[in-house]
Amino acid sequence: MPGDDPGSHRIVQAMERKRRLPAEWEEQDGVLMAWPHEGTEWVNLEAVQNVTMEIVREIVRSERLLMAAPDVEEARGRLLDAGVPLDRVGLFQIDTNDTWARDFGPLTVFEADRPVLLDFGFNGWGLKFRSDLDNQITRKLARLGAFGQTPLDTRGIVLEGGSIESDGQGTILTTSACLLSPNRNPHLSRSAVEEFICREFGSHRVLWIEHGRIAGDDTDSHVDTLVRFCPDNVIIYTACDDPTDEHFGPLREMEDEIRAFRTPEGRPYRLLGLPWPEPVYDEEGRRLPATYANFLVVNGAVLVPLYGTGKDRAALDIIGRAFPGRKTTGLDCLPLLTGNGSLHCITMQLPEGVLG
């Protein structure tokens, strides 16, 4: 089929009803997270909980936070001890498998300028991990009133929030390695995936990335580890300048791809390459997926994962250039890498209007 050609920039007709998937830098009501607990697979639980509290502390400076937790009292006590103002936090007693709200949380679209929550299936990144509890979190939150009167639409397709990136104007960025994974939606061709994305999100085109990967990433190359949209037609991306590194070739091919991308008006995007952090390994010598592209945009600020390497400062500066007028705050996210993710992966923004 013509729509199955690799690297397609094919424009797909959006459905007639007006829908829009906002960009992350648009105004937000809050952020969704899940409390890391004994039942999760963290080998460094205390450190991960401390990182979680630091992230929460930054988020509640400008917006609210929703937290799913199997033991609400444990989470409340730890947050109180950390000085987090609990009047800015909604805690909900819900059993969870893990902590990755980006991928089991709802994706919010606007229909006639009103928010609608889309709840897609989550199957542990292509059946790699248990996800039976996490797949139910969004629906349970809705039943508990976490989202107020905002409608929830449950969809029968597997799709993780970290696998797509929106510019808020109808362009979706994604990777073929993830969205065409045989363990997610094997019944859908590339063209069928494009049509589904454009229908659900009101988008008019999908930009596919065919290359690029991060060692240790078990999501099949989520786009939020590699390439991100920023305001004013800026694309920020993970670059590797070390020819001896295993990532050099794939990331150089990815860079060539995005240099060929054009805005809807036919102009090149302005590209900003992120520095390549020194390799980070776990105690068993396994390389961990350190990437500065896994930042989170909140009201008035950008929260940037740092890993204690010599490249941290440069990453903060570059991301700051991409988001002028926002405070750029770095947070030590080294403990999160042991779970093969980082700051963006454990959060999901809730746009303005979702929480009422």
Domains of the chain: 2-351 (3.75.10.10)
Asked if the model's pLDDT at residue 197 lies above 60, the reply is: yes
pLDDT at 18: 86
250-304 confidence digits (pLDDT tens): 999 999 999 999 999 999 999 999 999 999 999 999 999 999 999 999 999 999 9
Question: What are the backbone angles phi and psi of residue 86, rounded to the nearest 5°?
Answer: -70, -15
The predicted pLDDT at position 183 comes to: 97
Percent of the chain scoring above 90 in pLDDT: 94
**Contact between residue 64 and residue 88 where contact means Cβ atoms under 8 Å apart:** yes
**pLDDT tens by residue, 7-51:** 444 444 444 458 999 999 999 999 999 999 999 989 999 999 999
Whether the CB-CB separation of 76 and 91 falls below 8 Å is answered with yes
Strand order in the sheet with 164-166: 164-166, 171-175, 205-209
- Per-residue pLDDT, 104: 98
Measured distance CA(347)–CA(345) in Å, rounded: 6
Q: How confident is the model at residue 356 (pLDDT cuts 50, 70, 90)?
A: confident
Report the alpha-carbon distance of residue 157 to residue 248 in Å, rounded: 34
Contact 250, 221 (CB under 8 A): no
- What mean pLDDT, rounded, does the chain reach? 94
What's the per-residue H, E or C state across the chain?
CHHHCCCCCCECCCCCCCEECCCCCCCEEEEEEECCCCCCCCCCHHHHHHHHHHHHHHHCCCCEEEEEECCHHHHHHHHHHCCCCHHHEEEEECCCCCCCHHHHCCEEEEECCEEEEEEEECCHHHHCCCCCCHHHHHHHHHHCCCCCCCCEEEEEEECCHHHEEECCCCEEEEEHHHHCCCCCCCCCCHHHHHHHHHHHHCCCEEEEECCCCCCCCCCCCCHHHCEEEECCCEEEEECCCCCCCCCHHHHHHHHHHHHHCECCCCCECEEEEECCCCCCECCCCCECCCCCCCCEEECCEEEEEECCCCCHHHHHHHHHHHCCCCEEEEEECHHHHHHCCCCHHHCEEEECCCCC
Alpha carbons 347 and 340: distance in angstroms, whole number: 14
Give pLDDT, residue 41: 85
Mean local confidence (pLDDT), 332-348 = 97
Q: Does residue 2 carry a pLDDT above 50?
A: no
Across 41-45, 133-137, 177-181, least confident range:
41-45
pLDDT tens, residue by residue, 61-88: 999 999 999 999 999 999 999 999 999 9
**Are residues 340 and 288 in contact, defined by beta-carbon separation less than 8 angstroms?**
yes
Q: For residue 11, with 0-12 CB atoms within 10 Å meaning exposed, 13-18 middle and 19 or more buried, which class applies?
A: middle
Query: Which of 40-44, 147-151, 295-299, 335-339 bottoms out in mean pLDDT, i.e. has the lowest?
Result: 40-44
Tens of pLDDT, residue by residue over 96-110, are 999 999 999 999 999
Mean pLDDT of all residues in 120-144: 98
What's the pTM value of the predicted model, to 2 decimals? 0.94
